[in-house]
A = this chain, B = another copy of it.
């Protein structure tokens, strides 16, 4: 493996191992992926409320930067539907009044910087706050929001943007009379065609699957021909687009806009990271290779800063394009560099060809592309496995529909964290005794075990920390009320991986109050790291004459022997 500065560029290692055949494979995969990227790029820029050409700018420099820095061989970086709808939501909220292109650039720059910062201080782990049920609920909800939003292009009338799905339907319902029949028919036919091609090849052969993947390009070409050939003048088209980046024609706003968009950028950077890394991990697993989450943060951060410099919207790994790239036989990120070259060529040479694309057909392409993200069956499935996870999925999904993508995501994350704390807040606590003829200790509720009237052995099966120590304390108090004869409490710590300071404080108070009632606290089976940490405090002096025993058996032996000795000394 390369060392020094080169270790930040995994591609160097791959290029060294590239054969002529690998190079040909990368050129082929890059070309195929470009054919998929171009319509997606135009369409996703439209979701974000941006000029379509911005979607192509998001696919050149970002793809090259990720190719240089990323640790996944297969990930294809560029505009994605989820990142696009989050840009639309940010602009409808905090970014209201800011030019959409300027807002997209600010969001890319801020998300990129946040990802870089997380990579530098190695905080990739915080992106794990997004659990699977939250991500699934979020994607389903966001896809429905996108689909509802695209309906306006079928209607062929201008709608206020940033409406929630239910507001959208109400708005359209009230204006049914002025719907444009040309866009409605064109969009409907395109949608039907796309659904049909996907429907017939489901479970079909690989060639059919590839056909379905590229049917969007076909339907766009056919749509453009239909509009031109049939003279459908009332159908809005993409219109004259220039290869000149739209960002050059605007003035960037001041610091106020950056500060206002910062919370949205933080949410976008988490989504970008989690989406991209889950695709990378999936594909790396299939190659039996690994990816490095902290290096991925640097790569994705650079790609987003690159997108900002290109005047484009935040970028992430695209599932559909990464799969096409992988299935087309890409050997390394060289394929992404060819993709960038082909996209740049398309931008310079073929932009005039896009002007005739009907927006209603682009909307149909988007609707079919995101429909696969809607996964409602997972809600009952997840619920059956775990009510907490099912609730996280459902609440995120409903939250996105009711309050928008940003609020829904925040609600989901907070709920899943609260539910996790709630779950570990009620740990399993067992009173244990000794199995006959052994030195093993088991729960008195599940096994016939030997116990002692003056010794209470309690095992806690969870880390002791702020969210559960109150519960443990309450349970111990109840047990003591039931057992007035107890003189020794032995805490069996085999299931405790750490004791935080809240738990330490409760332990100190418990030692004092129990001492006043003549009970001594002992510890047994304490894990090494926990013991090391406790030694840094004065807890053991505080515990005296309470001791730390290696095992519950050692505790019982020592304590019963001491009791014997006392009896001998003070005969009744």
Contact = CB atoms under 8 A, between A and B. Distances in A.
Nearest to A467: B128
Contact of A132 (B284, B462, B471, B502): B502
A428 interface: yes
Interface in A193-232: none
A505 interface: yes
A125 B469 CA distance: 10
A467 B426 CA distance: 19
A531 interface: no
A131 B502 contact: yes
A509 interface: yes
A371 interface: no
Contacts of A506: 132
A258 interface: no
Q: Which of A423, A427, A500 has the most CB of B within 10 A?
A: A500
A516 B288 CA distance: 9
A497 interface: yes
B517 A288 contact: yes
Nearest to A501: B389
Contacts of A416: 466
Nearest to A504: B385
Interface stretch (A247-255, A334-342, A472-480, A563-571): A472-480
B425 A497 contact: no
Interface in A375-428: 382, 384-386, 388-389, 416-418, 420-428
A461 interface: yes
B285 A513 contact: yes
A145 interface: no
A281 interface: yes
Top 10 A-B pairs, shortest CB-CB distance: A131-B466, A132-B502, A285-B513, A290-B477, A389-B501, A131-B502, A128-B467, A125-B425, A132-B505, A288-B517
Contact of A386 (B293, B497, B533): B533
A172 to B, nearest CB: 31
Contacts of A466: 128-132, 416, 420
A93 interface: no
A289 interface: yes
A282 interface: yes
A302 interface: no
Contact of A385 (B389, B463, B501): B501
B132 A282 contact: no
Contact of A516 (B286, B293, B428): B286
Q: Which of A388, A497, A510 has the most CB of B within 10 A?
A: A497
Interface residues of A, number: 69
A509 B285 contact: yes
A498 interface: yes
B290 A500 contact: no
Nearest to A288: B517
Given A132-B501, A498-B423, A513-B285, A385 B474 contact: no
Interface of A: 125-126, 128-133, 277, 281-282, 284-286, 288-290, 293, 382, 384-386, 388-389, 416-418, 420-428, 461-463, 465-471, 473-474, 477-478, 480-481, 495, 497-498, 500-502, 504-506, 509-510, 513, 516-517, 533, 536-537
Contacts of A289: 477, 481
Contact of A418 (B126, B428, B467): B126
A125 B501 contact: no
A287 to B, nearest CB: 9
Nearest to A422: B125
A126 B467 CA distance: 8
Contact of A536 (B128, B133, B293, B384): B384
Nearest to A502: B132
Q: Which of A133, A284, A466, A469 has the most CB of B within 10 A?
A: A466
Given A131-B500, A384-B536, 4 more contacts: A277-B470, A286-B513, A385-B537, A389-B500
Contacts of A427: 497
A382 B128 CA distance: 27
Nearest to A506: B132
9 contacts: A125-B422, A126-B421, A288-B480, A289-B477, A289-B481, A384-B536, A388-B500, A416-B466, A462-B497
Nearest to A285: B513
A451 to B, nearest CB: 21
B477 A284 contact: yes
A424 B469 CA distance: 16
A517 B287 CA distance: 9
A523 to B, nearest CB: 16
Contacts of A130: 466
A461 B497 contact: yes
A384 B532 CA distance: 12
Contact of A477 (B285, B462, B498): B285
A126 B461 contact: no
Nearest to A378: B501
Contacts of A462: 497
A425 B128 contact: yes
A470 B293 contact: yes
Nearest to A446: B528
Contacts of A290: 474, 477-478, 481
